[in-house]
A and B are shown apart, each in its own frame.
Chain A
Amino acid sequence: MTRDDAFDSLIEAEPAPALPRLEFGRTLPFVKGRVPLEEIYRLSVDAEKPAELVIKAARSGPDELAAAMRALDGKAYRGFALLYAAQKASPLVGIDPRRALALASAIEADAATLTDVNPHARATTPAPRQSVLAEASLLRAQALLQTGEPAAAKVALSTARSFFLEAGDLGFGSAMCDYCEGQIEVFMRRFDEAESLLARASAAFCEYGQDHLVGRAEAATGMLFGDKGDYERALFHLDRAIVSLCGPMDVTPLTGALSNRGSVLTKLGRFDEARATYARALNLALRHGLESVLRFVRSGLAELDFRRGLFPRALRAFREIARESSVNGSATDVLFARLYVAECLGRTGQFDAMAAEVDSLRYDRKQTVFSPSPALGELFVCLDQGTIDADLVAHVRTYMQDEENGVERAYQPLRLVG
């Protein structure tokens, strides 16, 4: 779709433009069967609370969900409630993707009795079956991606596209699918496809005037280029995202985009700007209690000190992060923080303490779920041989961070690469 200035000037005209008089008069406008919009609007408002109750029930469990779905039976707003429940369940995807999947299934089953869309009728159906099924499939795709099943997520997304098409939604619904599929492609590290999809989504969201969605698509594109190692382009898209994410409902994605910007600036060696960006992210994360982002920002600030060569300060920060992550974070967070701790110790000449840290890591590795790693294998062999140093720790950490980010490459022992 392109700009249409003539169309826009008519929309903005004051007073409203008069319709041209027809030479031979005109037939009466078709109104039979067209439900007044005010009535449909009221239905949509009435559907809000029940939709939220359905989502909360889905979070509680299958029995509660079934009861909440039964409570919608016979209600005039049932279609809208199902539609809104599917759209507003995205936070549930982050909290419990299995329950989000169960909700998608329940909505799909319940949608079977809704009225079909009739693309040829002038009396359009509010919340038709196809629209509800499209949203349920979109929710399913998000949940499957969250559970690490991108292939299944793509299948669900293809279903969503088909239903959006049947419902006659070729614009906005299609853009939602592009946005979701772009994220799946990023996850699968198919960057070219992801870039194209996210660019299309961003352009469509812009056309529809939804800046908050433009911001999300741009933030995802920034992450894409960050993962690719193209930090200049990552910065460009993250900056666009930050400009677009300005509403009170955008705090979480804005804080994420800011912390990613800090990370990119660190990698570009623009340390002062990185610190200022992290400070802004930290402020938002603290004010809004965004624990997960807070951990990321603290790690970013510690890495910033590390890259600036402020090893004693980085050491303190990474020790604190390792301690906190062992309580609240993942095993991976703990592993990386402790590798940084070991490296900082090595860089500050505390070789015995570095060896003790790596030895402790080996002990903990037996207790936890770290998968066998050739990189850690070399680290522990060198520890036993007394040849461990900070460069080896850095080499191992870099490989494992790449592995965590999905970069597939064979590990080359440090002694072979110099």
Chain B
Amino acid sequence: MMQTKVDGLAPIEAPESRIRPSLPDLELPARPVWDWAELNAKVRPRLVAAGVIRFGLSEDDCEAAAQRVFLKALAMNPRVRDPKAFLRAAFLEQCHRLLAGRENP
């Protein structure tokens, strides 16, 4: 019989089976430690530059997209352990959406 259990988590730790073990206590995950200064000062301008140079998007659009993905990362804070990787993927997705919107206005 495979174990079926709910494991605790900040990230979604939903039931993985039918057996419901009792958890000893309500252990809330600590807030992941982010180097906010580095993210804001180093990663953000690079995202904007990459959006402009790689995809030919306007700086304004890229600034707005960067703002959106930073807010998304903050909104998902308890689940995000590697914020830089998250920002990269979310920003890339935003760029693709902007490009798709340009092709199909």
Which positions in A face B, CB cutoff 8 Å?
1, 4, 6-8, 10-13, 16-20, 26-27, 29-30, 34, 37-38, 40-41, 44-45, 48, 52, 55-56, 59, 80, 83-84, 87-88, 90-95, 122, 124, 126-127, 131, 138, 141-142, 145-146, 148, 168-173, 176, 179-180, 183, 186-187, 207-213, 216, 219-220, 223, 226-227, 234, 247, 249, 252-253, 256, 259-260, 263-264, 289-293, 295-296, 330, 332, 336, 401, 404-406
Contact = CB atoms under 8 A, between A and B. Distances in A.
Given A171-B89, A207-B89, A210-B81, A37 B3 contact: no
10 contacts: A34-B67, A40-B71, A41-B40, A94-B7, A124-B68, A126-B74, A176-B79, A183-B15, A252-B8, A292-B23
Nearest to A179: B12
Given A88-B28, A227-B2, A131 B54 contact: no
B47 A19 contact: no
Give the 7 A-B residue pairs with the shortest CB-CB distance, closest first. Answer: A209-B85, A292-B21, A94-B6, A10-B50, A91-B8, A226-B2, A122-B64
B22 interface: yes
A20 to B, nearest CB: 7
A168 B12 contact: no
Nearest to A138: B12
B72 A169 contact: yes
A187 B20 CA distance: 13
Contacts of B10: 87-88, 90, 249
Given A94-B20, A209-B86, A216-B9, 18 more contacts: A16-B45, A20-B53, A29-B60, A29-B63, A37-B67, A45-B31, A80-B75, A87-B10, A91-B8, A93-B6, A94-B23, A124-B68, A148-B18, A171-B90, A180-B14, A209-B88, A249-B9, A291-B22
Residue with the highest number of chain A CB atoms closer than 10 Å, among B18, B29, B63, B67: B67
Given A84-B78, A216-B9, A30 B14 contact: no
A87 B76 contact: yes
B54 A30 contact: no
Interface of B: 1-24, 26-31, 36, 40, 42-50, 52-54, 59-60, 63-64, 67-68, 70-72, 74-82, 84-86, 88-90, 92-93, 95-97
B12 A176 contact: yes
A295 B24 CA distance: 14
**Residue among B1, B15, B19, B40 having the largest count of chain A Cβ atoms under 10 Å:** B15
Nearest to B30: A249
A253 B78 contact: no
Given A1-B96, A6-B54, A247 B81 contact: yes
A123 B88 CA distance: 20
Given A17-B53, A55-B26, A95-B23, A1 B92 contact: yes
Given A11-B50, A122-B64, A208-B89, A90 B9 contact: yes
B77 to A, nearest CB: 6
A28 B50 CA distance: 19
A91 B90 contact: no
A105 to B, nearest CB: 18
Contacts of A12: 46
A401 B1 CA distance: 7
Contact of A292 (B5, B15, B54, B82): B5
A8 B88 contact: yes
B26 A11 contact: no
Nearest to B61: A122
B3 A223 contact: yes
